[in-house]
Amino acid sequence: MSLMGQMMQMPLLISSLLTHAARHSGDTEIVSKRVEGDVHRTNWAQLAVRARKVAQALARLGCQPGDRVGTLAWNGYRHLELYYGTSGSQLVCHTINPRLFPEQIAWIVGDADDKVLCFEINFLPLVEKLLPHLGRVQHFVLMAGRSHMPASSPIPNLLCYEELVEAENGDYVWPQFDENTASSICYTSGTTGNPKGAVYSHRSSLLHAFGAALPDAMGCSARDVILPVVPMFHVNAWGLPYATALVGCKVVFPGPHLDGKSLFELFENEKVTFSAGVPTVWLGLLTYVKQNNLKFSSFKRTVIGGSACPPAMIRTLEDDYGVEVIHAWGMTEMSPLGTLSKLKSKHESLDEDSKRRILEKQGKVIYGVDMEIVDDDNKPLPWDGKASGNLVVRGHWVIDRYYRNDRSPLVEVAGLDGQWFPTGDVAAIDEDAYMQITDRSKDVIKSGGEWISSIELENIAMAHPAVHEAAVIACPHPKWDERPLLVVVKKPGGELTREQMLGFFEGRIAKWQIPDDVVFVDELPHTATGKLQKLKLREQFRGHQLPA
């Protein structure tokens, strides 16, 4: 007979994070730049009270355990109150990406079957427009005070968030329930077909928060001031709403104000030490600081992920601004953290260039996630840093299946235990277990039976001083099947010809991998989460004639 452990049984519930932060870091600030334009200050203790009032208010509206509550909101304290008020009271927080096409938003709200929809004032016109398609939503809540309520609206019985909160007394005890209960839903951006829902549990979210806070992950501490640029509607802002409560640090929310100037001012005024976001937001911030000859006084580290961070961006942030870049990889289906790039102690003695080459990779997994690369028959490939194949993962915070879809997405891997989630990414893993993404399987360029990494070509182009942004897509080719086409946005005032750009690749990559052509454009299309939209770009250049 085995001996059972004799420790307390406490379910891993999201509400416990907030209770912890309120009890032990109650006076630590939460600062939000609001949609309304002003800066709002609260702290973990006050936020916990208001989150309990939100739970009471939602119960008063008739919400039952398991009901979904949709949010259309920027990063801010009210959104955080909803995160905790919903999940904490056994409701499911459904964060919706407002940058999706309106039809997709309506589809997602319907698929999730949101009972309540909470949204900020700038999304009022959107919700009014979508109203005919939101038939199953029972309550609409405008996340604002009475003075911002519209005099009239086609939305029947539009509720005022502040009034709902103020009507409650906060005398509420977070219920205890099974830690495997759903806490939130996030939809993938659905670059092909309809978006798919990933349903997180309390347990997966808590374990992910522990993992995220570790020193070799985001390394969050009570001494940090954390500004999540990554939106709370994008995979729970990479877990920061939970990890910040777990460590009890100060949090700064930028609201919708994500331009370089607003971000810089907020970083400086609030003494931000740590941030996280996709590469495109840092492009804007870096352009602003450079143009104005500014330096950061408190900003020390940032996680960059969501799409490949160009090495040139890492260099600029580290060498010119003293900001450590932690390159990270993950996806909606993984809550999202998979790998982060931090050195091992055996790397400490390497020269700077060798260290950097390691840190430019997407990194090593944190405990809780395992990964493997496999060939098309799901047989593992060697970890030699050269062989690249389909990346599969498994772990405590990786989805088992998609919402409302009984077909398992998982695969078996020859010789390994369990079932694995195929990420759709192509990667290599080196001898030290560092993973490097070569491409998304649908973006890789197949030239004469060989694969060319679009990311590698983009990284080279981005290192040219006159290049602001670059994308590489496959162009059909009569002989080679596909050949790379480089699409470039020049920096303001940047001088660059097609020949100069192509010449820049010489000696930096094998000759046969150099793009066949370069096109200059004013702007590249981005997805709702700020990533390059290759599908759209491929459509845009469908008829493009490569030079003979």
Is there a contact between 532 and 471 (Cβ–Cβ < 8 Å)? Answer: yes
Which tokens is 529 given? 């989460």
Q: Which residues pair with 380 in a beta bridge?
A: 374
> Which residue type is seen at 100?
L
Name the site residues for ligand ADP (rule: CB under 6 A). 188-189, 235, 305-309, 327-332, 336, 362, 423-425, 437, 440, 527, 529, 531
Whole-angstrom distance, CA of residue 199 vs CA of residue 332: 10
Burial class (CB in 10 A: 0-12, 13-18, 19+), 410: middle
Q: Please work out, in degrees rounded to the nearest 5, the angle formed at the alpha carbon of residue 188 by the alpha carbons of 387 and 102.
A: 140
Of the pair 425, 517, the CB lying nearest ligand ADP is at: 425
For helices 240-247 and 202-213, the axis angle rounded to 10 degrees is: 70
Instruction: Identify the CA nearest to 184 among candidates 199, 195, 174, 203.
Output: 199
Which tokens is 142 given? 């405008």
Is there a contact between 362 and 334 (Cβ–Cβ < 8 Å)? Answer: no
By three-state DSSP, how is residue 96 classified?
coil
Name the catalytic one among 120, 168, 179, 333. Answer: 333
Minimum distance, C-beta of residue 497 to ligand ADP, in the bound complex (Å): 29
Minimum distance, C-beta of residue 331 to ligand ADP, in the bound complex (Å): 3
Minimum distance, C-beta of residue 239 to ligand ADP, in the bound complex (Å): 13
Minimum distance, C-beta of residue 40 to ligand ADP, in the bound complex (Å): 28
Of the pair 496, 528, the CB lying nearest ligand ADP is at: 528
Helices (H), 25-155: 44-60, 77-88, 102-112, 124-130
Instruction: Identify the CA nearest to 447 among candidates 381, 357, 513, 364.
Output: 513
By three-state DSSP, how is residue 208 classified?
helix
Minimum distance, C-beta of residue 202 to ligand ADP, in the bound complex (Å): 21
Of the pair 122, 441, the CB lying nearest ligand ADP is at: 441
Minimum distance, C-beta of residue 63 to ligand ADP, in the bound complex (Å): 28
Of the pair 102, 448, the CB lying nearest ligand ADP is at: 102
Of the pair 120, 458, the CB lying nearest ligand ADP is at: 458
Is there a contact between 219 and 195 (Cβ–Cβ < 8 Å)? Answer: no
Of the pair 197, 260, the CB lying nearest ligand ADP is at: 197
Q: Please work out, in degrees rounded to the nearest 5, the angle formed at the alpha carbon of residue 12 by the alpha carbons of 64 and 232.
A: 70
Minimum distance, C-beta of residue 435 to ligand ADP, in the bound complex (Å): 10
Name the catalytic one among 261, 300, 355, 446. Answer: 446
Of the pair 204, 529, the CB lying nearest ligand ADP is at: 529
Whole-angstrom CA distances from 538 to 83, 212, 484 are 37, 35, 11
Strands (E), 431-478: 435-440, 445-447, 450-452, 467-477
Residue 329 a catalytic site member: no
Residue 333 a catalytic site member: yes
Name the catalytic one among 287, 290, 318, 451. Answer: 451
Name the catalytic one among 28, 42, 71, 188. Answer: 188
Is there a contact between 238 and 228 (Cβ–Cβ < 8 Å)? Answer: yes
Helices (H), 72-215: 77-88, 102-112, 124-130, 161-166, 202-213
By three-state DSSP, how is residue 440 classified?
strand
Helices (H), 270-384: 279-291, 311-315, 321, 352-359
Of the pair 149, 331, the CB lying nearest ligand ADP is at: 331
Minimum distance, C-beta of residue 436 to ligand ADP, in the bound complex (Å): 9
Of the pair 172, 200, the CB lying nearest ligand ADP is at: 200
Whole-angstrom distance, CA of residue 457 vs CA of residue 474: 12
Of the pair 237, 308, the CB lying nearest ligand ADP is at: 308
Minimum distance, C-beta of residue 312 to ligand ADP, in the bound complex (Å): 15
Residue 268 a catalytic site member: no
Whole-angstrom CA distances from 397 to 43, 97, 393, 400 are 29, 21, 10, 9
Query: Is the torsion defined by CA of 14, 20, 26, 30 positive or negative?
Result: negative
Element (DSSP H or E) covering residue 547: none
Residue 451 a catalytic site member: yes
Minimum distance, C-beta of residue 190 to ligand ADP, in the bound complex (Å): 7
Q: Return the active site residues.
A: 188, 333, 446, 451
